[in-house]
Amino acid sequence: MVHPGLEEVAADEIRAELGGDVKRAERGFVVFRLPEIDRGILHLRTVEDVFLYAWGTDKLSYRAADLDSIRRWTDKDADWPALLKIHHAVTPKPRRKPTYRLVVQMSGEHGYRRVDALKALGRGLNGKMPASWRPAEENAAIEFWLSIHGATAICGLRLSDRTMRHRTYKVEHFQASLRPTMAAAMVRLADVKPQHVVLDPMCGAGTILAEAHLYARQQERPHVPWNVTLVGGDVDPHHVRAAKANLLKLTEAPVWTWDARRLPLEDASVDRIVCNLPFGKQLSSPAEIGPLYHKVVPEMDRVLRPRGKAALLVAEAPALKAAIHPLGWKQERYVPVRVLGQRAVIMVYRKP
């Protein structure tokens, strides 16, 4: 399950890091097959959650007859003993009797309620678990999920827990702080390489810097260090403090209090800029966005090396394009996403 818009980036990560065979990537899901499943699957960084696939369909009728199909597919189409065996191998079995939970997510107009789909799932699972397993609402060891979106339903066993999407390093948050999976996607799109200097000039709580560090660690192989140098800063000293706290256990990246319109950095000194610029609604007036981008972007251009890349997340794409146009940067990717319910886009540029 991925944040909508990040399906292709996540599919690339699954192929590159796990050798996965991606079957489909759309509408918040990436369905893939692996030659072997182990805990490595939990180290994916651009996905929100991972599941073992039990069954799926694109042919829901939206009518109440779907409920019997859900029960039947759950009962007959999934190899639950095999799935539970893999689940236990990836997430060690608790010492006490396992607890389980059924979860149903639903979107679209269906002729039945979520609770009816939940009951149908429960009926399909009848007899699939040892009688000693107990239902639990909190911290269940095993979670059976059914996601229904329009005519599509996917049923699976959840392998990840909340730390996959929330990350344990993130102790400090603020409202405009980026979701770690989105920051990880931006870092992948920026195509960071060994020895690179990576800059986030408006780093907020430091999520992008943290994910750049973790990406470099994910890429390292024995005796092949990546030695990526991270540099960040923000105009708000509270955000700088938050970024330092979040990076504390990960790496010693310097984080400065600075104004991104006048960076204390040398010309052509960074290889990658990865940055989530303020959105109009985060400033006192959206009209301030244009002037801000017109000052920040030329400063980014000054510090970026020739052929360097910038991956920038903005809500006001036309304002960013207007600021970039005079510089002649080449647009390489355009990835629409939603951030805090608002339309936004990750744009990747290469400086000539």
Ligand X SMILES: C[S@@+](CC[C@H](N)C(=O)[O-])C[C@H]1O[C@@H](n2cnc3c(N)ncnc32)[C@H](O)[C@@H]1O
Half-sphere exposure of 339 (CA within 13 A, CB side): 25
Is the sign of the CA dihedral 125, 126, 128, 130 positive or negative?
Answer: positive
CA dihedral 188, 171, 51, 39 (to 10 degrees): 80
Q: By CB under 6 A, how many residues form the interface with ligand X?
A: 18
- Residue from 31, 67, 106, 202 binding ligand X (CB under 6 A): 202
- Residue from 20, 124, 278, 308 binding ligand X (CB under 6 A): 278
Residue 78 within binding range of ligand X, rule CB under 6 A: no
Question: Does residue 294 contact residue 313 with C-beta atoms inside 8 Å?
Answer: no
- Residue from 177, 185, 187, 213 binding ligand X (CB under 6 A): 177
Residue 196 within binding range of ligand X, rule CB under 6 A: no
- Residue from 102, 118, 129, 176 binding ligand X (CB under 6 A): 176
Residue 204 within binding range of ligand X, rule CB under 6 A: yes
Closest approach of Cβ 71 to ligand X, in Å? Answer: 43
* Integer Cα distance of 315 and 294 in angstroms: 15
Burial of 316 (0-12, 13-18, 19+ CB in 10 A): buried
Q: Which of 288, 259, 280 is nearest to 201 (CA)?
A: 259
Residue 213 within binding range of ligand X, rule CB under 6 A: no
- Residue from 117, 140, 148, 178 binding ligand X (CB under 6 A): 178
When the beta carbons of 142 and 339 are compared against ligand X, the nearer one is: 339
Burial of 118 (0-12, 13-18, 19+ CB in 10 A): middle
Which single residue is written with the structure tokens 């999934």? 78
Closest approach of Cβ 321 to ligand X, in Å? Answer: 19
Which residue number places its CB atom closest to ligand X? 204
Residue 288 within binding range of ligand X, rule CB under 6 A: no
Question: Does residue 349 contact residue 313 with C-beta atoms inside 8 Å?
Answer: no
Residue 235 within binding range of ligand X, rule CB under 6 A: yes
When the beta carbons of 104 and 186 are compared against ligand X, the nearer one is: 186
Q: Which stretch binds ligand X (CB under 6 A): 73-81, 139-147, 159-167, 235-243?
A: 235-243
* Integer Cα distance of 282 and 57 in angstroms: 41
Contacts of 338 (CB under 8 A, 6+ apart): 3, 4, 5, 344
DSSP letters spanning 60-91: --SSTHHHHHHHHHHHHT--HHHHHHHHHHHS
When the beta carbons of 200 and 271 are compared against ligand X, the nearer one is: 200
Residue 74 within binding range of ligand X, rule CB under 6 A: no
When the beta carbons of 228 and 300 are compared against ligand X, the nearer one is: 300
- Residue from 199, 205, 323, 347 binding ligand X (CB under 6 A): 205
* Integer Cα distance of 204 and 282 in angstroms: 12
Residue 181 within binding range of ligand X, rule CB under 6 A: no
Residue 346 within binding range of ligand X, rule CB under 6 A: no
When the beta carbons of 156 and 180 are compared against ligand X, the nearer one is: 180
When the beta carbons of 143 and 200 are compared against ligand X, the nearer one is: 200
- Residue from 239, 272, 309, 351 binding ligand X (CB under 6 A): 239
Please state the three-class secondary structure of 332-350 as a single string. EEEEEEEECCEEEEEEEEE
Q: Which residues bind ligand X (CB under 6 A)?
A: 176-178, 202-205, 207-208, 234-236, 239, 259-261, 276, 278
